[in-house]
Amino acid sequence: MAKKTNKGQLTNNIRRLRFDHDEMSQKALAEKVGVSRQTIVAIEAAKYSPSLELAFQIAHAFETPIEEVFGYIPPPPE
Amino acid sequence: MSYHERNIVTYLISGIIVMTIYSFYMLDLYQAGLLDGPDAGIELGWSALKLIGGSIIVTVVISVLVSIANAIITKESDFDKADERDKLIDLVGMKVGFITFSIFFVTGMIWLALGAPMQYILLGSIYAMFFASLIEGATRLVLYRRGF
């Protein structure tokens, strides 16, 4: 999933990572990182950009580096 | 619908119920001429106190009813702690509500400067608070639904 912003594009691989981790549910991930399931849904659908702290917590929950979970595509040069 | 969205809907419904009852009450006072007499300030003061008390009671009753209905329908009694997204949405909602109230307030002050009676401006301020809270709730609902 990707979110277009004026400054570039935010991407995430949460859905794939959940699938790779024994099909972890959104609720289970939410409980692991201490947010509501709706917040995980919004992050996964790229409707909400998490704080740096939450982004690290999600990466920690998957035991993977943060760049494996979140990505950034810079805007094309004008 | 999440716990926080349900709370917003509860507050919106209770706000509309309370303000509808309050409007009928104030209409009675107006028709009796009590809002134009020398005791108009006292009547307005008491009506505002009754409004605050009534709002608390109605909100508690509706919250309990909605929670019971939700527990029966979904078989869940969820209570989500507010996380960072909820707090951000609350902040944006409050900001929009504050701007709305400010617009109403400035409009009221202009009317006052043009010679409108003080008691009607005071009454208008109460309605301005209600509309500001309605818009705040609607904004939060939209942000939850549209994404933030």
**Measured between alpha carbons, how far is residue A28 from residues A7, A58, B44 in Å?**
32, 11, 52
Question: Do residue B144 and residue A50 have CB atoms under 8 angstroms apart?
Answer: no
Q: Which domain holds residue A16?
A: 2-66
CB contact under 8 A, B86 and A39: yes
| pLDDT given at position A4 | 56
| Low-confidence stretches of chain A (pLDDT beneath 70) | 1-6
| pLDDT tens, residue by residue, B61-84 | 998 888 888 888 877 666 667 889
A47 vs B147: CB contact, 8 Å cut-off? Answer: yes
CB-based contact (8 Å) between A35 and chain B? Answer: yes
Number of domains in chain B: 1
- Per-residue pLDDT of B77-117, as tens digits, reads 666 678 899 999 999 999 999 999 999 999 999 999 999 88
Give the structural domain span for B89: 3-146
Rounded to whole angstroms, the Cα distance separating A7 from A74 reads: 7
Domain assignment present for residue A76? The answer is no
Distance from CA of A70 to the nearest CA of B (A): 17
Count how many Cα atoms sit within 13 Å of the Cα of residue B140 in the half-sphere of its side chain: 27
- Tally of domains within chain A: 1
Residues facing B113 on adjacent strands? none
- As to burial, measured by CB atoms within 10 angstroms (0-12 exposed, 13-18 middle, 19+ buried), residue A40 is buried
Q: Provide the pLDDT for residue B71.
A: 81
Q: A58 CB near a chain B CB, below 8 Å? A: no
Minimal-distance CA residue of chain B relative to A44: B147
pLDDT reported for residue A16? 94
Quote the minimal CA–CA distance from A5 to chain B in Å.
Answer: 12
Q: pLDDT value at position A1?
A: 60
The answer, for A56 touching chain B at a CB cutoff of 8 Å, is no
Q: Is A18 on the interface with B (CB under 8 A)?
A: no
> Does residue A51 lie in a domain region?
yes
Query: pLDDT band for position B5 (50/70/90)?
Result: confident
Query: Which residue of A37, A38, A54 is in closest CB contact with B84?
Result: A54
The minimum CA-CA distance between B15 and chain A, rounded to whole Å, is 26
CB contact under 8 A, B83 and A39: yes
Residue of B nearest to A45 (CA): B147
Provide the pLDDT for residue B139. 95
**Residue A73 belongs to some domain of the structure:** no
C-alpha A1/C-alpha B62 separation (Å) is: 38
Cβ within 8 Å, pair A47-B80 = no
Question: Residue A36 is part of a domain; what is its CATH number?
Answer: 1.10.260.40
SS3 state of residue A46: coil
Q: Does A39 touch chain B (CB under 8 A)?
A: yes
Domain-embedded: residue A42: yes
- What percent of chain B stands above pLDDT 90? 59
Taking the CA of residue A18 and the nearest CA in chain B, the distance in Å comes to 21
Residue A75 lies in a domain: no
Residue A60's pLDDT is 95
Give the separation between CA A50 and CA B96, rounded to whole angstroms: 22
Gap between the Cα atoms of B69 and B85, Å rounded: 26
**Structure confidence by residue, pLDDT tens digits, B26-66:** 999 889 888 887 888 888 899 999 999 999 999 999 988 88
- Helix ranges (H only) for chain B are 3-31, 40-74, 84-113, 118-146
Q: Is residue A41 part of a domain?
A: yes
Count other Cβ atoms within 10 Å, centred on residue A22.
Answer: 8
CA distance B119 to B122: 5
In a domain, A60, yes or no: yes
* C-beta separation of A54 from A2 below 8 A: no
ipTM greater than 0.85: no
Strand duo A9-12 + A70-73: pairing: antiparallel
* A78 part of a folded domain: no
